[in-house]
């Protein structure tokens, strides 16, 4: 697995509403997912950025010119075309700052977003108010990647870093005083 998000992770973490939301919001997310393709070039750039790739429309023009991606219509990309572009950016290490941070920390961008979303859901429920999944409200914790050795002592795998978040003390204090955050 790479650093950036797959399309399924994007749907799970960016489109789907939080747990406990009304069913109509889940249906809307499914409809949005099902109607995303074919996707215009400008939307492809935005979509790939939200998946952790530092993509601009000009970058996509270069992929088209070099033949890395060959959509049937330059302004109507299929999901396979978008995923091909994502794979190219992954291979070249072209990430947004947050995804690049995740690569440095030894985790995937989806792991970061998932942990942040889970923390926002947990604290929203605990304080009976909606808290955004925004890292400015939380403190990030990291357990570094760990090597796994076999019976003979040889390295056989590396477990990724584990990311978690707790509510920042100043935010918690403001909530407890009844202030808006």
Tens-place pLDDT, residues 52-73? 999 999 999 999 999 999 999 9
As given in the structure block, the two tokens for residue 139 are 């403190």
Residues 88, 158, single domain; the answer is no
Number of domains in the chain: 2
Q: Which domain holds residue 157?
A: 107-176
Backbone φ/ψ region at 96: left (φ over 0), alpha (ψ -120 to 50), beta? beta
* 131 shares its domain with 172: yes
- Residue 35, in any domain of the structure: yes
The verdict on 40 and 89 lying in the same domain is yes
Q: Are residues 96 and 150 in the same domain?
A: no
Considering the domain architecture, whether residues 88 and 59 belong to the same structural domain is answered as yes
Cα separation, 14 vs 8, in Å, equals 10
88 located within any domain = yes
Domain shared by 81 and 13, yes or no: yes
Q: Are residues 64 and 84 in the same domain?
A: yes
pLDDT for residue 31 is more than 80: yes
181 lies in some domain? no
Per-residue pLDDT tens digits for 115-125: 999 999 999 99
Report pTM.
0.92
Residues 128 and 171 in one domain: yes
Phi, psi for residue 32 in degrees, rounded to 5 = -65, -45
Shared domain for 63 and 120, answered yes or no, is no
Q: How far apart are CA 49 and CA 97, in angstroms?
A: 10
Q: Are 72 and 127 in a shared domain?
A: no
Whether pLDDT at 1 is above 80 = no
Q: What is the pLDDT of residue 20?
A: 84
| Buried-exposed string 28-45: b where 16+ CB fall within 10 A, e elsewhere | ebeeebeebbbbebebbb
Asked if residue 1 is part of any domain, the answer here is no
Q: What is the DSSP letter of 17?
A: P
pLDDT tens-digit map of 78-120:
999 999 999 999 999 999 999 999 999 999 999 999 999 999 9
Residue 157's Cβ-count burial label (10 Å; 0-12, 13-18, 19+) is exposed
What does the pLDDT look like over 135-178, one tens digit per residue? 999 999 999 999 999 999 999 998 999 999 999 999 999 999 99
Average pLDDT for 28-38: 96
How many angstroms separate the CA atoms of 13 and 116, rounded? 10
Do residue 96 and residue 16 come from a single domain? yes
Per-residue pLDDT band for 19 (boundaries 50, 70, 90) equals: confident
Q: Among residues 52, 85, 100, which one ends one of the domains?
A: 100
């Amino acid at each position: 697995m790479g650093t950036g998000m797959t399309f399924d992770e994007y749907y799970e973490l960016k489109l789907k509403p939080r747990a406990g939301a009304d069913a109509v919001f889940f249906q809307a997310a499914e409809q949005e997912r099902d109607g995303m393709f074919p996707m215009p070039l400008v939307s492809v750039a935005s979509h790939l950025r939200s998946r952790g790739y530092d993509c601009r429309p000009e970058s996509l023009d270069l992929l088209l010119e070099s033949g890395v991606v060959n959509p049937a219509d330059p302004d109507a990309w299929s999901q396979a075309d978008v995923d091909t572009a994502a794979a190219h950016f992954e291979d070249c290490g072209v990430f947004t700052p947050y995804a690049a941070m995740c690569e440095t920390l030894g985790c995937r961008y989806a792991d970061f977003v998932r942990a942040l979303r889970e923390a926002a859901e947990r604290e929203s429920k605990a304080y009976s108010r909606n808290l955004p999944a925004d890292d400015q409200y939380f403190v990030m914790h990291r357990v570094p990647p760990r090597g796994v050795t076999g019976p003979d002592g040889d390295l056989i795998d590396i477990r990724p870093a584990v990311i978690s978040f707790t509510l920042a003390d100043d935010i918690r204090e403001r909530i407890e005083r009844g202030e808006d955050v």
